Chains A and B, each alone.
Chain A
Amino acid sequence: MNSPSPPNETNVEWVLQERARQEERSRTAVGPGARLNRYRLISRVLHEPLRETLPRDFVVAAPPSTGRHSTVFPRQRAILITTGVGYLAAMTTAAFLVRTDIGHAVTTFAWPTDLLAILAALSLAAPRIVALVRALERPAGELPSRP
C-alpha cells in the first residue's frame, strides 16, 4: 500500500511529502515549489546508503554462531571443563596428601599396587593413565620397556 491516506487535517502537507518521495523515486525533473523541493531533498538524503555498513566478511563470520557448530561447541566445552575440574581436584588432593600425616599414612599403605590392578583392568579405556602410573612406580633411572 503505497498511496496511504493523509492523517487528519494535515492532508495537504502529507500529500506533498508523498509527492516528493514519488518524484525522487521516478527522478522527475525538478520543478518550482520550495516546500516540495525541500521534501525532495529529504527523500533523496534518506534514500542514500548508510555511511556505516556491515563488514565484507559478515556472511563468513555469521555461520559459526548459527549452524551445526552451535550444537557441537557446547559438548566440547563441557568435556574440557570436566577434564579441567577433575585435574584441579586431583592436584589439590595430591598436595593435601603430601603435606599431612594422613597423607603419610595413606602413602605407606599398599594402595598403589591395588590401584594399579584396577587401572590395569581399565587399560583399554584409559591406557595413558596406566602408563603414567607405571612410570611413576618405576625406580629412578630405569627405562620404560617397549610394549
Chain B
Amino acid sequence: MGVSDDRELVEGVLAGIPGTFERLVRNYQGLCWHIIFRMVRDPETSRDLCQETFLRVHQKLHQYRQDRPLKGWIGRVAYTIALRHLERRAVPVVDAPSGPADESAVELIEGDFDLEQAYLDQELVGRLHAEIERLAPVPRAILSLYHLEELSIDEIAGITDLPAGTIKSHLFRARIQLRKALESTWR
C-alpha cells in the first residue's frame, strides 16, 4: 500500500463511502493479527482485540496524520491494545535482562547442519515453534514484525515506541535463544 492509496482510503472512510472501511480492514487485518496474536496467543482474545483495534481505528481516523504510513499507525494501535491487555493481566511483556550471559551464547557449537534436512524435521521445527512461544510477548511481536511482516527496524520502532537500539537488542537476544534451542536439539 502506497501513501497515496492510504490517503484515498482514509478520505473514503472519513467521507463515509460504502466499502472503504471494509477495504481498510482487509488491507491491514494481517498486520493486526500478527502483532496481537503473537503477543496474546489466545485466538479468541486476539480476535476480540483485533475488533477493538479496528473500532479504535474507525473512531480515531480523523486524528491520523497522512504524512506517515497508515500501516505504522494501525500497527501502533494494535500493539498498544495488546500491550494494555497484557499489562492489565500482569503478564510480563519482556524478558528479564540476562546481561553477560548472552555473550557466552555467542560462543559456538559448530559442526554440520543441513538446513534443508532440518527444515523437514517436524520435531525440530516443532521445537523451534515452542521456543518462539516461550519468548516474552514484546520480543515475539518484534520477531514477527521483522521476519514475517518484513518491516524495518525504524518502522518497528514507530509501532512499538521503543528505541531502535532496544529493538535490535530484542532481535539479537531472541535469535540467540532460538539458536541455542536448535543446538540442544540438533548437534
Contact = CB atoms under 8 A, between A and B. Distances in A.
A7 B152 contact: no
Interface stretch (A44-52, A87-95, A114-122, A137-145): A44-52
A125 interface: no
| Chain A interface, DSSP helix/strand/loop, else mixed | helix
B148 A54 contact: no
A58 B25 contact: yes
B151 to A, nearest CB: 9
Which has the most chain A C-beta neighbours within 10 Å: B33, B106, B109, B113?
B113
Interface size class of B (residues with CB under 8 A): 35 or more
B164 A4 contact: yes
A38 B179 contact: yes
Contacts of A43: 147
Interface stretch (A13-21, A77-85, A103-111, A128-136): A13-21
Interface of B: 16, 21-22, 25-26, 29-30, 33-34, 37-38, 43, 46-47, 50-51, 54-55, 58, 102-103, 106, 108-116, 118-119, 125, 128-129, 132, 143-144, 146-148, 150, 152-154, 164-165, 168-169, 171-172, 175-176, 178-179, 182-183
Interface of A: 1-2, 4, 6-7, 9-10, 12-14, 17, 21, 25, 30, 34-35, 37-50, 52-55, 58-59, 61-63, 65-68, 70
